Amino acid sequence: MKKKILIVEDDKFLRELIAKKLIFNDYEVIEAVDGEEGITKATENKPDLVLLDLILPGIDGFGVLARIKENMTIKETPVIVLSNLSQQGDIEKVMQLGAADFLIKAHFIPGEIIDKIRRILDK
């Protein structure tokens, strides 16, 4: 059975780029464009992993992460944060909130996301 990945990212180009890469690597992809939709889709679809941007319309990524980790049915879902916010404080905050990993958007290529996802899901 295919693993389900939820991408919560408001940048259409980046979201579609990651989605194509995931589909090519045999993952099922669910997309959300803002925090509220991300929380709803995470709750309804119970993905195997969430890729989460921090700067989102409405509820930001910190809020989405906190809500996922408070929800009994999805709190064990690993969340990889993708962001251009690279301040140490932001990284520490998402890790304290329960993120599995943190990737700075400007510093990765899509193949690296796949490698991170595989490592986390294969644990």
Q: Helices 88-97 and 61-70, interaxial angle, to 10°? A: 20
Write out the CATH class of domain 4-50+60-121: alpha beta
Judge contact between 77 and 48, C-beta under 8 A.
yes
pTM of the prediction?
A: 0.95
The DSSP code for 36 is H
pLDDT in tens, 42-79: 999 999 999 999 999 999 999 999 999 999 999 999 99
Question: For residue 65, what are the contacts with CB-CB under 8 A and spacing of at least 6?
Answer: 52, 79, 81, 94, 97, 98, 99
- The ranges assigned to domains in the chain are 4-50+60-121
